[in-house]
Chain A
Amino acid sequence: MTDAVLTVRELRVRTRGDAPLALVDGVDIDVGLGETVALVGESGSGKTMAARSVLRLLPANVELTAGGLSAVGTDVLAADGPALRGLRGGRVGMIFQDPMANFNPVLPVGRQVTEPVRIRQRMSKRAGDKLAAEVLGHVGIPDPERRCREYPHQFSGGMLQRAMIAMALVNRPSLVIADEPTTALDATLQVKIVKLLRLLQSEINAGILVITHDLGLVAELADRASVMYAGRIMETGRVGELFARPLHPYTRALLDSRPEGRTGADVRAIPGEPATPATRPGGCAFHPRCRLRVERPAADQARCVDEVPVLRLVALPGTTGTTGSTPSSSLAACHFATEMLTVGHLAQPRADHVPPDPDSAPVVTVAGVSKRFVTKSAWSGRRTGVTQAVDDVSFTLGHGESLGLVGESGSGKSTLGRMMVRLIEPDTGGITVHAQDASPVTGQQFRRTVQWVHQDPYGSLNPKMTIRRLITEVLARYRLASGSRAARVTELLGLVGLPPDLAERYPHQLSGGQRQRVAIARALAVEPRVLVLDEPLSALDVSIQAQVITLLRRLRADLGLSYVLISHDLNVVRTICDRVAVMCEGRLVEVGTVDDIYDRPQHPYTKTLLSAMLNVDPEDRAVPASPVTSTARS
């Protein structure tokens, strides 16, 4: 590799104090000019810490050491204040995850975008405005002369992320660090941002270090990738080989647990929780969750527990011992990586499949439902804006059926979901929920029939209540299981795969996946017939997502539940749902079975949504590598 813009050797980040935790534990990263390298991992893997170490943008309570850390020719470890500031925003640009949070709400966007230039050279206000308009226009923001004077809250998330990219690239850096650059965005926007990043990279020939948990983004954007787990790199190699022939059981498990391109039955969850620096086991950090390790001789198992595997080159079959033939470029940190080459080693059993009953009576009938939100002036009571959130929507949900409600943010799918649980009332039309005998459910019985699982398990559980109280509260409200509530709580927790002793804990003591299970258990406490799930996976890690998918599929089979799954993630919908309803600007534009929607979409909007899915196969990128059509500014 020529022209390295980032060389990291033996990077270690640990917390200060008496019992330091190793957040990053000996990581090497290389990025060359014009190259895109991905750092992939779940939360707690240390990928963000590793990336921020490059600019020494670390919290005060951690300590950074490295065998070598050089970015664009500067020794970052030895750099003093001015040298560091020269790198930050100068030769190294940084793109953050959440554009809404990363722009200062009280300053115009244009001024923030040009700030990296303005703090380095004196510039008249007019020249600054001109530059702002120019760079914003360059990243595809329409009417940049006007928009550069607007404030962040006047921008949409996608537009603001474009502005963030403009801000990171305004000084034409040689290295760009992109921390989850698409995670906060809708699927259709993700593809556009990827496209923009690739185009700009080809213009200024920068190296990109992209940090992500999203294997789809890796496949779409990166040339090489390193998979991190619990602060260490498990496997590193060219993206094509990594996806086609994963050499580490963790990489393989991650790929298997992705909902992308799967129908649900074959999503295979990684058991357990991702290891964090505090819970990292000895030996190979992945060994408690590793499928390759089970059914091995005791000596081998002990080796995984005792000995930390080092990253080493794994020779491919057919190239053993010979030179001249193409060697694998992948390195894997697994004692038994060569066994990963044996196809079928991790062959999966087919999981259950629940055929929906096509003749069943509907449990929910939605007929001609509309809802508009009117914003009124606080002074005159005049209408200042009308949003038609849901516009004449009708469909039915059969018993045992799972309906996916998909669309971009603002399409009205969440409003519709809220109306289905009567958190808000429709303006016109009606939603009828039917009891077992097909009679409509009313009054108190309604909430016992339809339950709601919220998107954010961090916000939906009262932090001051133990899990037991959270669930008992619901039981008490409906006078259920009186006398045997403790047993019922245990039973409900068991239903969602949680141990009974968890009941005494508080939500903050649980992981995101555990919280979402608690939220589901709480919804199940009233023995509902329908669950409305509002983006139940979006706050969770990839491997945990797969666990919840498996759980939802199992619960449906065991309890005969019907689901309404609200999601912008078509891949997730496909793994759970039987039918899909596509919403766009409040209207239902297409309803069909999963196969129809995914294989034979009719409506152009559905086709747009589908084409925006980031594909798992790096050979089949949604954004083809276009020849460099340089429209470079200057």
Chain B
Amino acid sequence: MAGFVGRRLLTLIPVLLMVALITFGILHFTPGDPTIAILGIDATIEQREELRAALGLDRGVVEQFLNWAGGLLRLDFGQSLYLRVPVGEAMLRYLEPTALLAVYSLVVALLVGIPAGVISGVRRGGLIDRLVMGMTVAINAVPNFFLGILVIMFFSVQLGLLPTGGYVSPTEDFLGHVRAMILPSAVLGISLTSFARIIRSSVLDVMSAEYVETAYSKGLSRPQVVIKHVLRNAAIPSVTVIGISFGNLLGGAVVTEYVFNLQGIGQLLVESIARRDYPVIQAGVLLSALLFCLVTLLVDVIYAYLDPRVRYGR
């Protein structure tokens, strides 16, 4: 397993290189000028040229790329053109809310989605099944930002229980952190529970498998059959879907971050694109790609754990 993970990590290098090249290329062939974003539209050409020289934007594209790529190897992501801080520092600061939001949402989604999916699958056509299936359709039909605004209006404005938005770091004020994160995590987590449908359908598949019949024939009760024979098999196809959703979250849940005013990666990236803040955009895309690859690797490891046929490389 260690060898497998090691080899997979090595394959990250060409993937990230490609991502770096493509982002760099796209950005530099996109019209727009960071100096206008920084100095404003009224700045004179001389002022802008001066700034360009200061930022190193007057050099050739290849040179700029090599400079940047060389910095990457030293984990130096450059200086933000707009924020005037090192990109690495900015990334870490903005990553914290995004990563924590992603993890909390995933926990909410798992806590709600797995039992809902399993029960719906086991008791197909029952009350819970119909309820869950109706709910997932309704939730999928409501856009995130709208659901977010609704819960803010109800819990924060109407009842005044929770803050309307903003981010509090857990190292500063843990209770404040919890209060700040409850609503966004719930909204984002609930919107993910549509994978309950996928769990349900894999549970249904597994329930009709012949080895489940064998399990009954050995004298197991239904809860025993579900726990010992159904869950693990049903988890296998769901893991991929959950992993992809989680990877997307790590790239920044832009809309939710905006609604709850969380200064996350998603928000940073959107704003940086508007500002043509090249180093931040490049680093942000690269980070998303890296996180996504790591999550995929994690999914594969979980896969191998769940399914011996994968483990033994058949």
Contact = CB atoms under 8 A, between A and B. Distances in A.
Nearest to B124: A60
A86 B210 contact: no
A55 B216 CA distance: 10
A154 B312 contact: yes
A86 B219 contact: yes
Chain B interface: which size bin?
Answer: 20 to 34
A116 B213 CA distance: 13
- Tell me if B's interface is mostly helix, strand, loop or mixed: helix
A57 B213 contact: yes
A128 B170 CA distance: 47
A12 to B, nearest CB: 22
A96 B210 contact: yes
Contacts of B174: none
Contacts of A107: 228-229, 232
B122 to A, nearest CB: 12
A377 to B, nearest CB: 8
A98 B312 contact: no
A627 B201 CA distance: 52
A88 B210 contact: no
A102 B213 contact: yes
A81 B308 CA distance: 33
B59 interface: no
A88 B218 contact: yes
B312 A153 contact: yes
Contacts, number: 78
A64 B236 CA distance: 35
Interface in A440-469: none
Contacts of B74: none
Contact of B211 (A81, A90, A104): A104
B309 interface: yes
A103 B221 contact: no
A89 interface: yes
A78 interface: no
B308 A96 contact: no
B308 A103 contact: no
Contacts of B157: none
A102 B211 contact: yes
A85 interface: yes
B13 interface: no
Interface in A71-88: 81, 85-88
A85 B215 CA distance: 11
Contact of A88 (B219, B309, B313): B219
Contacts of B229: 104, 107
A379 B219 contact: no
Interface string B1-26: 00000010000000000000000000
Interface in A44-97: 55, 57, 81, 85-90, 94, 96
A151 B309 contact: yes
A175 interface: no
Contact of B308 (A89, A105, A377, A379): A105
B210 A98 contact: yes
B224 A119 contact: yes
B233 A90 contact: no
Interface residues of A, number: 30
Nearest to B3: A379
Nearest to B308: A151
Interface in B255-314: 306-309, 312-314
Given A116-B219, A119-B219, A154-B312, A103 B214 contact: yes
Contact of A105 (B7, B220, B307): B307
A85 B7 CA distance: 48
Given A106-B232, A106-B306, A101 B210 contact: yes
Contacts of A154: 312
Contacts of B221: 81, 85
Contacts of A120: 219
Given A153-B308, A153-B309, A115 B220 contact: yes
B218 A89 contact: yes
B217 interface: yes
Interface in A267-309: none
Contacts of A102: 210-211, 213-214
A234 interface: no
B137 interface: no
Contacts of A135: none
A13 interface: no
A167 interface: yes
B308 A94 contact: no
Interface in B186-231: 209-211, 213-221, 224, 228-229
Contacts of A88: 216-219
A319 B214 CA distance: 47
Contacts of B209: 101
A87 B219 CA distance: 7
Given A105-B233, A106-B233, A96 B214 contact: yes
Nearest to B221: A85
A105 B215 contact: no
A119 B210 contact: no
A103 B314 CA distance: 17
Given A98-B210, A119-B224, A151-B312, A104 B233 contact: yes
Interface in A99-151: 101-107, 115-116, 119-120, 151
Given A94-B217, A96-B210, A116-B219, 13 more contacts: A57-B216, A85-B220, A88-B216, A102-B211, A104-B214, A106-B306, A107-B228, A115-B228, A116-B218, A119-B219, A153-B309, A153-B312, A167-B218
22 contacts: A81-B221, A88-B219, A89-B219, A96-B213, A101-B209, A101-B210, A102-B213, A104-B211, A104-B215, A105-B307, A105-B308, A106-B233, A106-B307, A107-B232, A116-B219, A120-B219, A151-B309, A153-B308, A153-B309, A153-B312, A167-B214, A167-B218
Interface of B: 7, 209-211, 213-221, 224, 228-229, 232-233, 236, 306-309, 312-314
Interface of A: 55, 57, 81, 85-90, 94, 96, 98, 101-107, 115-116, 119-120, 151, 153-154, 167, 377, 379, 384
Closest A-B pairs by Cβ, 10 of them? A89-B218, A89-B219, A94-B217, A151-B308, A101-B210, A88-B219, A85-B219, A104-B211, A116-B218, A102-B214
